[in-house]
Structure 1
Amino acid sequence: MPLTNPWLSGPAPDVDLPRDQLEERILNLLSTHNLAVIATVDADGAPTATPVRYSSLGFEIFYSSWNGSRKSRNLRRDPRVSAGIVAPLVGQASSRGAQLFGTARTLERDDPASEPYWEAFRWQSDHVERGRSIDEPPADPLTVITPSRILYTEHWLRRTGYRPRQTWRADG
């Protein structure tokens, strides 16, 4: 049987992508998708994973959530968080995604630190979908995830001699 992507066979390359190129690929993924699975820790230590529609600003992702939700309660108690973002998977060659590891903080609407996030947050389509007025922005706070580490996976990188899993760290 013919191999459609022969570069996928054999051992994976062990070469890091230059940081500027890795950052560009991560920003592209964050900017071209809007669904993440957020993992928080329950009071008993059990993991809780919740899908959210997110927006991004640089390497941070953020979403709106009411203060009483389980994920919000979990993050108030323990701000450590992980988020998974994945592109549609057609086969091994299209495998592309990111895992963000970091901390989350909640920004209320009147918090001056929330302003750049509210400017970047695309809440209007959600309001239209739910029959709400776009003249009244959401009252719920924004949860901002700031990654300290991102594990980026893209098997297409093998084709050009780079390892398919790359690690980005905020501290360089």
Structure 2
Amino acid sequence: MPLTNPWLSGPAPDVDLPREQLEERILNLLSSHNLAVIATVNLDGSPAATPVRYSSLGFEIFYTSWNASAKSRNLRRDPRVSAGIVAPLVGQASSRGLQIFGTARTLERDDPEVDAYWEAMRWQSDHVERGLALDDPPRDPLTIITPRRILYTEHWLRRSGFRPRQTWRPS
């Protein structure tokens, strides 16, 4: 049987992608998708995974969330968080995604730091869909996830001689 992607067979390369190229690929994935699964820690120590629609600013992702939600309560008690973002998968060669490991903080609308995030948030389409005025921006809190480590996976990297899983940390 012919192999469609012969570079996928055999052992994976063990070479790091140059930092600049890795950062470009991470930013591309963050900018071209908008759904993440956020994992927080429940009071009893069990995991809680919740899908959220996110926006990104640099390597941070952020989303709106009510303060009373389970994920917000979990993050107030324990700000450690993990987020998973994946591209559509049609086979091993297309496997592409990332995991963010970091901490979360929630900013209320009156926090001066929140303005830069709201400028990057794509809230207008929600307002149009819900029949809300575009001159009345949301007042919801924003939760920002700041990574301490990102595990990036892209099996296409094997084709160029790089390991399919790459680790990024802030410099």
2:97 counterpart residue number: 97
Which segments of structure 1 move beyond 3 Å, counting only runs of 4 or more? Answer: none
1:2 maps onto 2:25 in alignment: no
1:126 counterpart residue number: 126
Distance 1:131 1:41 in 2: 35
1:111 counterpart residue number: 111
Distance 2:116 2:158 in 1: 37
2:137 counterpart residue number: 137
Distance 1:99 1:52 in 2: 14
2:166 counterpart residue number: 166
1:73 counterpart residue number: 73
Q: Which runs of 5+ in 2 are unaligned?
A: none
1:85 maps onto 2:75 in alignment: no
Aligned alpha-carbon RMSD (Å): 0.7
Distance 2:134 2:91 in 1: 40
Normalised by the length of structure 1, the TM-score is 0.98
Aligned pairs, number: 171
SS in 2 for 1:112: coil
SS in 2 for 1:127: helix
Q: Spell out, residue by residue over 1:6-43, the C-alpha distance to the aligned partner (whole angstroms, 9 max, x if none).
A: 00000000000000100000000000000000000011
Q: Spell out, residue by residue over 1:45-87, the C-alpha distance to the aligned partner (whole angstroms, 9 max, x if none).
A: 1100000000000000000011111111110010000000000
Letter matched to residue 129 of structure 2: E
